[in-house]
Amino acid sequence: MSAETTTSGGSTEYINHHLHFWQVSVGDGAFMKLNVDTLIFTAVLSLLFVFFFIRSARKATAGVPGKFQTVVEMVVTFVDGLVRETFHGRSKLIAPLSITIFCLVFLMNFMDMVPVDFLPWAWKAGHAAAGADPEHAYLRVVPTADLNTTFGLSLAVFLLIQVFGIKHKGVGGFTREIFTAPFHAHGTVAKIALAPANFLLRIIEEGVRPLSLSLRLFGNMYAGELIFILIALMTLNSSLAHLSTWVMGPLQWVVGFIWTAFHILIIVLQAFIFMMLTIVYLSMSAESH
């Protein structure tokens, strides 16, 4: 490792600082650590989502809608259409749940559009003003770049899958399906013989769902955040008197613009995929094999 990257202003320190969570230890011996920044931004974005949707519902008019009401109606109509096409059972929960997942995941992803140094710089300045050490003022602003967030969301979906299965098939039907699908058999002996294989496949199937949901969303958002950090490194510690600033500055702006435009597509697509897979999984859980 070069000497430049080991200094406080080097590339390694810059990346590590941006990828470090604001953590608080809980319990003796640091048994558990809370990523406070993730919790705060998730709570704030959730409250904003609830506030604006309730406000839009209360101020909705039958005449010509306003711009925000139009956007909300487009989202609701679009998601409701997908639910009607995908979920073949009856549930008043699916459509509101899908809208909530799509909007909340989108808002959390959209935090990646905030300039990578803006909020961490403000947080460090606040620490310095309060007399605290600014070098240990850590802040990450994209909740979905935290595996705890994405796994928590996918775990909630996993629990809903089980609840929907029991609700639509009953405890007996749900339990029987665990040991009789996907390999169906006629006769008691054949069913008993295939039960261990069916049970093993069911465990794998149920375990893969939350893992795939969480890792897909986390991987895309973590990679997007890291690329923004790497783009910011192009002019790290550069001064106006240095030739590299005039060479790398315009290149940094072009690369940043291209990646931002592409990343907007990723942000929307990942929110859509997470919502769509949730609908599909719940539909599969409600249907009989």
Q: State the chain's mean pLDDT as an integer.
A: 85
CB atoms within 10 A of CB 176: 13
pLDDT band at 248, cuts 50/70/90? confident
Residue 58 lies in a domain: yes
211-250 b/e with 16+ CB inside 10 Å = b?
eebbebbbebbbebbebbbebbbbbeebeeeeeebeebee
69-95 b/e with 16+ CB inside 10 Å = b?
beebeeebeebeebbeeebeeebeebb
Q: Which pLDDT does position 121 carry in this prediction?
A: 87
Residue 249 has pLDDT above 80, yes or no: no
Q: Which pLDDT does position 28 carry in this prediction?
A: 66
Q: Which pLDDT does position 147 carry in this prediction?
A: 93
**What is the C-alpha separation between 63 and 70, in angstroms, rounded?**
11
Active site residues: 212, 216, 220
Q: How does pLDDT run across 195-206, given as a tens digit for each residue?
A: 888 889 989 988
Residue 148 lies in a domain: yes
Q: Which pLDDT does position 237 carry in this prediction?
A: 62
Residue-wise DSSP of 12-50: HHHHHHHT---EEEESTTS-EEEEHHHHHHHHHHHHHHH
Residue that wins the pLDDT comparison between 260 and 30: 260
CB atoms within 10 A of CB 145: 26
Residue 76 has pLDDT above 70, yes or no: yes
Domain housing 43: 3-163+207-286
- The count of structural domains within the chain is 1
Contacts of residues 190-199 at CB distance under 8 Å and 24 or more positions apart, as own/partner, are none
Residue 264 has pLDDT above 80, yes or no: yes
- Out of 27-36, 44-53, 85-94, which region has the weakest mean confidence (pLDDT)? 27-36
Q: How does pLDDT run across 174-214, given as a tens digit for each residue?
A: 888 888 877 776 777 777 888 888 889 989 988 899 999 99
Residue 93 lies in a domain: yes
Rounded mean pLDDT, 93-106: 92
Residue 87 has pLDDT above 70, yes or no: yes
Q: Which pLDDT does position 243 carry in this prediction?
A: 57
Residue 179 lies in a domain: no
Residue 180 lies in a domain: no
Residue 173 lies in a domain: no
Kindly report the backbone phi and psi dihedral angles of residue 141, in degrees, each rounded to the nearest multiple of 5, phi listed first: -110, -5
Residue 265 lies in a domain: yes
